Structure 1
């Protein structure tokens, strides 16, 4: 069902919105929801967060409709609102993650017992033994990539092989280690 307001332009809808006309608000909402959601989704990378941001913007518009001053184009106003809400959401998320990492690190440091440390040492020792038993090309590739942290391109250059060869050797090494460690870890975590 098409409403009368669907024929109105933004300059006609805004004064109606200012008076608290719910149908004018609904028309603006329907007209811009998808565009704003797309912009927010692209900028923040999460559809759930994007939906929350856009919903908050529309709630804010409805709550403040009487004192709302939009100079210029409505679409530009909404795009800028999305931009700043995304920036604020990303900043809040970053602070939350930093706090969680801090707390996790603090908690881990407090809770780490001698037994956990010994178990970790045992796991590292087992991994080291398994790495030393890998076929030579796999072992060298693994050590350069995982232990020294070199990118595959640099590993390929140092070993004078293609990146595909590095990728294949690394994949093989990881598969062998995963299979070997799976048995060890099942016993390790059983106790």
Structure 2
């Protein structure tokens, strides 16, 4: 009887329904969200929606169960939005951490590259030229041999020696750098 009055737009029927059920559905919402303010908004939205749809409502179960299910779906939407916000915030923090880490990596790389450049500068001039031709200009052993007038075997031997020297000096640098 109360629902039919409500469906016909009776304000006092709506007030009675609200007064009978709002505490129970609010309690349910607070249990699920852990957030009283958000739960109050959810319950208010459910009752406003009920009022707006009062002429079209077809409730086939107990009214209290209908309200609980309505609140449940709104709670799920709320929790989903909160989760998305939290994930977005975590992504922002992660992006910041990645940027921060990449900056440090860049600085470390620059320091390593600078040390490599110093080591190459300490090499005999011919060894430094051959190394730069190979590593920086991408020239093959044959092209370097043609350019310098050396044999390919001599170029290869020179590069092997140079790489050993560089590796040894960089290992010393890196062991001190990493500590």
TM-score normalised by structure 2 residue count: 0.53
Residue equivalent to 2:5: 16
Deviation, structure 1 residue 107: 3.8
Alpha-carbon distance between aligned partners in 1 of 2:97 and 2:45, rounded to the nearest angstrom: 37
Distance 1:106 1:68 in 2: 48
* 1:1-191 paired onto structure 2 within 5 Å: 12-110=1-99
**Distance in structure 1 (CA, Å) of the matches to 2:10 and 2:97:** 55
Q: Can you give the 5+ residue segments of structure 2 that lack an aligned partner in the other structure? A: 108-179
Structure 2 match to 1:122? none
Point out 4+ residue stretches in structure 1 off by more than 4 angstroms.
Answer: 111-114
Where structure 1 has 5 or more consecutive residues not aligned to the other structure, the ranges are 1-11, 118-191
Larger radius of gyration: 2
Instruction: Tell me the distance in 2 between the aligned counterparts of 1:20 and 1:79.
Output: 22
Counterparts of 2:48 and 2:98, CA distance in 1: 43
Return the alpha-carbon distance in structure 2 between the equivalents of residues 74 and 28 of structure 1: 9
How far does the alpha carbon of each residue in 1:131-184 deviate from its partner, in whole angstroms, 9 at most, with x for none? xxxxxxxxxxxxxxxxxxxxxxxxxxxxxxxxxxxxxxxxxxxxxxxxxxxxxx
Q: C-alpha deviations, 1:29-77, integer Å up to 9, x for none?
A: 1110111111111121111121111111111101111111111210111
Query: How many angstroms apart in 1 are the aligned matches of 2:27 and 2:16?
Result: 18
Measured in 2, the distance between the counterparts of 1:89 and 1:32 equals 21
The count of residues paired between Structure 1 and Structure 2 equals: 105
For the residue of structure 1 that corresponds to 2:54, the secondary structure is coil
1:111, distance to aligned residue in structure 2 (A): 5.9
Distance 1:91 1:28 in 2: 29
Structure 1 equivalent of residue 171 of structure 2 = none
